[in-house]
Structure 1
Amino acid sequence: MVGETQWAKCGRFTGTTDIELTKGGAAQVSSAAVSLVGTDKFLDPSRLVHNFVSPRKRARQTFELLLPHFQEEKVTFTEDIAEWNYGDYEGLDAGEIRDSRKKRGLDRETEWDIWRDGCEGGESRQQVTERLDRLISQIRDIQKPYMNGEKPVDVLLVAHGLILRCFVKRWLGFSVDFPLQMILAPGAIAVLSYKNNNINEPALHVGMAFPAMASTEEEGGS
């Protein structure tokens, strides 16, 4: 997920607005890169066959901090993994959105829920579903021939909090409005895969083992 922005700190819905990471957000991603990115680390660039990145500035910054020496031919900046287009709700927080809708006579029986109701002037859940399914199909086409480990075919997504949670739901075959509660902190890394090396059994790693570190003897120490 992209690092922290000023709007994210304030709980404001940030979709198409092209704002940068805060200093803290950039430091957050840089720290993750040092700890988690590298040969035989949690995110090994040598295992990446492609990267799909949101075209928003904050996502590009996050990607460049994670992988400063990336190969351009292995990167696609695509609206398919851009944040949900919040339309008229851009820059508002959830409370302001709900208050505005109620004042206009909406949501008399149930509270507004973005997963179910979408955004006025922005995207519906169906539109989000269609673009995520298109991306998932691309990823599975890349990985399907190598499900038995013939070669590493890891794919990295660098995107935003809400759309990535939508992506997880679609990856697992759930609707965007399926009540699967998730927390994804700024700068966090999550892992999706397949059960039993089967392309038809997409899965979520609820616990991921870190690669074993080389021992002192292996590194040439005494």
Structure 2
Amino acid sequence: MDLSRRPLRIALIRHGESEANLDKTIFERVPDHAIPLTPHGHEQAAKAGRELRELFEDEPVRVYVSPYLRAQQTLDSLGLDDLIGFGCEEPRLREQDWANYQDTADIEQQKELRDRYGHFFYRFTDGESGSDVYDRVSSFLETMHRDFENPNAPRNVLLVSHGLTMRLFCMRWFHWSVRFFETLRNPGNAETRVLLRQPDFRYKLDRPFEQWTHYEPTERERSAWL
């Protein structure tokens, strides 16, 4: 691969505040993929869009977006349509599958089990484990790298996705350990992380993920961010 074709920036953004962030029982009535943003979620996305426009220096962007409604609405509210030269709905960037219509009490019990068992390996009944999402993100990375080879590929890439998926993307990209991943918090709604290309054509995160429990990253894990 010609390393000079690698994008200058790969930005990841979590969807804005959704109805499920305010009412967990909505999963009993509405499919996860059909849950919309709240008005505040649209405002969060619009603010993030202004910041991303500055980051992208008003240059073209290739976008990959989860097919979930809240991610699609986040992309719309970013206000970057004039910059998006290439756009692609990418099912492999969807949220972790937890169930179909969910039983709220059962999911809360499973969350407690997951906390004891481990977020990466615990598989929800009728759903996925974190390791399942890791595998599909790995498959997506192969596609993304092939897209880099296009001589007309934009210098900016944007992924509009979900908190867990963002963490697992970075875990796969930077080869973080499962133990380190287990300590990381999701970014907030409409929060970003940006992989910035360095002079040696490698990438570093603009800032680390917050940790919810203590773990001292290895030197390689610490080297992932600026």
Q: What's the TM-score, normalizing by structure 2?
A: 0.68
> Number of residues paired by the alignment?
190
Q: d(CA) in 2 for partners of 1:181 and 1:37?
A: 24
Amino acid at match of 2:92: D
Larger radius of gyration between Structure 1 and Structure 2: 1
Offset, 1:193: 3.7
In the other structure, the counterpart of 1:85 is 97
| Counterparts of residues 1-222 of structure 1 (less than 5 Å) | 1-10=14-23, 16-33=32-49, 35-38=50-53, 41-48=54-61, 50-70=62-82, 74-87=86-99, 90=102, 92=104, 95-98=108-111, 111-143=116-148, 152-174=154-176, 178-198=181-201, 201-206=202-207
Q: What's the TM-score, normalizing by structure 1?
A: 0.70
Offset, 1:64: 0.9
Q: d(CA) in 2 for partners of 1:112 and 1:66?
A: 37
Instruction: Report the aligned-residue RMSD.
Output: 3.4
Helix, strand or coil: the match of 2:157?
A: strand
Offset, 1:160: 1.0
Relative distance call for 1:181 and 1:67 in structure 2 (3 A) is same
Structure number having the greater strand percentage = 2
Give structure 2 stretches of 5+ with no counterpart: 1-13, 209-226
| Structure with more contact order per residue of length (Cα contacts < 8 Å, sep ≥ 6) | 2
Relative distance call for 1:91 and 1:73 in structure 2 (3 A) is farther
Q: d(CA) in 1 for partners of 2:173 and 2:95?
A: 17
Relative distance call for 1:124 and 1:151 in structure 2 (3 A) is closer
Amino acid at match of 2:20: W
Give structure 1 stretches of 5+ with no counterpart: 102-106, 208-222
Helix, strand or coil: the match of 2:192?
A: coil
Helix, strand or coil: the match of 2:110?
A: helix
